[in-house]
Amino acid sequence: MSRWAIGIDLGGTAIKAAIVGEKSGIVTHRTVPTDTASGSTGIVVQLAGIIADLYHVASETLDLSDCAGIGLGAPGAVNADTGTLSYPPNLPGWSVVPLRDNLQQCLMQQKGLAIPVFIDNDANAAALGEALYGAGREFRDFFMVTLGTGVGGGIILNRKLYRGANGTAGEVGFMIIDFEGSSVHTGIRGTLESLIGKKGIVALARRMIDASPSGSSVARFCGDDYTKLSPRFLEHAAKEGDEVSLAVWNRVASILGVGLANVVTLMDIRKFVIGGGISAAGDIIFVPALDQLRRSTLPSMHDGLELVPALLGNKAGMYGAAALCFG
């Protein structure tokens, strides 16, 4: 027996879906733009179509009786037990949707497919993906941080997802490290995401560029238009040696290190897998973040501290979603 599943990463921009063999990894995958305009009903239909297509592809080379299910990673608060998705930030107009049951029903009624659906939030799915197929394979316990538009987190304890009693554990983006600070995110002051989410990084860079007498070579990457400033441009400029951009990343890394210190202090987790687009800055972030992490924790907590880059890139969500079915 060689189990396989369909793993789907439902994002606000794109749906990524793959056939994943439990042992062999991704067999084939596709990416389609999310039909956000059609609301939750339309997206369920869209998902069912992609699944039916992949299921058909799978039928040509795989044993359908080995299919472990459909795994779905979704943005927002997911209750893995009840299968509901609540207020996904990047899917406008959704409130609380019984996404798992709706999708199972749609697959049955429109495609004649009776396949179990498993659902979790995207950060948890990414953590599970790295745990089973990526950078977390060697760690029994680790914390996965996704640095992107937002700052997400997923917790692996004893090689399993730690979801907490209500499924909301790991929301490191909402951890408060500057409770009297000026940055605010969804009404909460001084959260990690308000400081080093994409918007926070850009705002920080603007302030640091404005304060720099000699300016920054990042201007060239933006075509001298700072409204186009992005983490990617700051990464390029830093890698060219631009001092202001390097200082920005140093500061971002330092703030990240403080946030991770709280994970170490509270949960005694000492391994961190860092993914998401912004982690592409690499050692420019990793080295100072680990330095700060050590400065912000007790010496008795330093043994075994490690920050490693995620290995699965934008495939972690598909891998992890499929892994939800193999549990």
Q: Residue numbers of the site for its own copies (CB under 8 A)?
A: 77, 86-87, 140-141, 153, 163-172, 174-181, 186-190, 255, 258, 261-263, 265-270, 295-298, 300-301, 303-304
CB-based burial, 49-80: b 16+ in 10 Å, e otherwise: ebbeebbeebeeebeeeebbbbbbbbbbbbbb
Q: Work out how close the CB of 158 gets to its own copies at its nearest, in angstroms, rounded to a whole number.
A: 9
Q: Work out how close the CB of 130 gets to its own copies at its nearest, in angstroms, rounded to a whole number.
A: 18
Q: Work out how close the CB of 307 gets to its own copies at its nearest, in angstroms, rounded to a whole number.
A: 16
CB closer to its own copies out of 33 and 181: 181
Give, in order, the Cα–Cα distances in Å from 182 to each of 87, 91, 126, 149, 200: 26, 28, 31, 19, 11
Give, in order, the Cα–Cα distances in Å from 52 to each of 104, 111, 116, 146: 12, 7, 13, 30
CB closer to its own copies out of 107 and 172: 172
Q: Work out how close the CB of 173 gets to its own copies at its nearest, in angstroms, rounded to a whole number.
A: 9
Residue owning tokens 């800055």: 281
CB closer to its own copies out of 65 and 182: 182
CB closer to its own copies out of 158 and 227: 158
CB closer to its own copies out of 105 and 262: 262
Per the structure block, which two tokens stand in for 128?
A: 């599970």
Q: Work out how close the CB of 132 gets to its own copies at its nearest, in angstroms, rounded to a whole number.
A: 19
201 contact partners, CB below 8 Å, separation of at least 6? 231, 234, 248, 252, 278
Q: What kind and span of H or E run contains 77?
A: strand 77-79
